Structure 1
């Protein structure tokens, strides 16, 4: 699953219905091409692919819509598209994945974190924290005993790097959990309009 898929679904959901041009403009305004590796051309490809998968449906446009951009095809989420968005969001927030693609998916998910009820967001993030603590323990064990298994001494540097990277991720995640628990950010079940909620942009 790519970050592009989640971001495109999220933007269309946020608009209610959107042209490809609007989705592209929104994501490039956010600089998603830099922090989530979203290639501008992949946005149109994702729209067409998800329309074929029945996650998006084409909707008719009127003159006012056409005046907003060059595209004449607008999309909105289907019920299956809403389910897919929720599943991708939950998976990206709850699963520890230190790969480059995993990092892209996580930042895409954090973008739409406020679309979740606070308790749901906390539950997903707590799950990832638990996974990372387990990986941290494994990495520390390798650092403490790696050379006992015949590894060259310098390989310890890889284990130190792994421990340091996990520590950094845990520090940020635990801080985010703490901020959410203290009531920071407008979430889907709070008064007011949460970022990314349907109808939050016009």
Structure 2
């Protein structure tokens, strides 16, 4: 699944209801086209597809000087899907070189404050544990790769992956520590956290 799905659900959720242009404008303001590879056409496609899947529902059509705009809001199933995708993208690490994994993690981090603090920490710990396992796998390949018949220079690819995983593990551990210290307003903290539904 793409990062676009979570981002569109999240923007509609945080506004209570939103039309396609509003979702597009919000995501482009965040530069999601660069860090999550979100394309304007994919936003409108996601709105239509998730409406057909009953994750979103049409709530009104705005009339005015321009074309009619259909507004959308999350259904109960849409809220469930948002929470599932958010948890999945925070906790599950893909391959070390996966751009899709990076896009999904970026989308999940955007809505990190929509989670209770302990839940966010738990999910990030799961990701860090998986990445530690990836780092161990890379280290094993570096140690024994030539035994498997790989050309010697292929080890440079594994060194690169190992470095990428190492940096990401350090970042995840640092974020966990900052969350444990109370940084950021989370869903279960007093006040309005980013990405929360309007009251």
In the alignment, is residue 80 of structure 1 matched against residue 80 of structure 2?
no
Q: Which residues of 2 match residues 170-185 of structure 1 at below 5 A?
A: 170-185=169-184
Summarize deviations over 1:7-42 as a string: whole Å, max 9, x none: 000000000011111111111111111110000111
Cα RMSD of the aligned pairs, angstroms, is 1.5
Q: Residue in 2 aligned with 1:157?
A: 156
Distance 1:25 1:66, change over 3 A: farther
Contact 1:14 1:196 in 2 (8 A): yes
Q: Secondary structure at the match of 2:44?
A: helix
Runs of 4 or more above 3 Å deviation: 65-71
Name the SS of the counterpart of 2:38 in structure 1.
coil
Q: CA deviation at 1:153?
A: 1.2
Residue in structure 2 matched with residue 91 of structure 1 by the alignment: 88
1:1-202 alignment runs, 5 A limit: 1-61=1-61, 66=63, 70-97=67-94, 98=96, 99-199=98-198
Q: How many residues align?
A: 197
What's the offset of the Cα at 1:67? 5.8
Gaps of 5+ in 1: none
Residue 145 of structure 1 deviates from its aligned partner by 1.5
TM-score, with length taken from structure 2: 0.95
Give the Cα–Cα distance (whole angstroms) in 1 for the partners of residues 118 and 70 of structure 2.
37
Separation (CA, whole Å) in 2 of partners of 1:128 and 1:38:
23
1:57 is displaced (CA, Å) by: 0.3
Counterpart CA distance in 1 for 2:49 and 2:189 is: 34
> Structure 2: where are the runs of 5+ without partners?
none
> Contact (CA 8 Å) 1:20, 1:47: kept in 2 or not?
yes
Structure 1 residues 15 and 199: CA distance shift in structure 2, 3 A: same
Cα 1:123–1:197, aligned 2, differ >3 Å: closer, same or farther? same
TM-score normalised by the chain length of structure 1: 0.93
Partner secondary structure for residue 60 of structure 1: strand
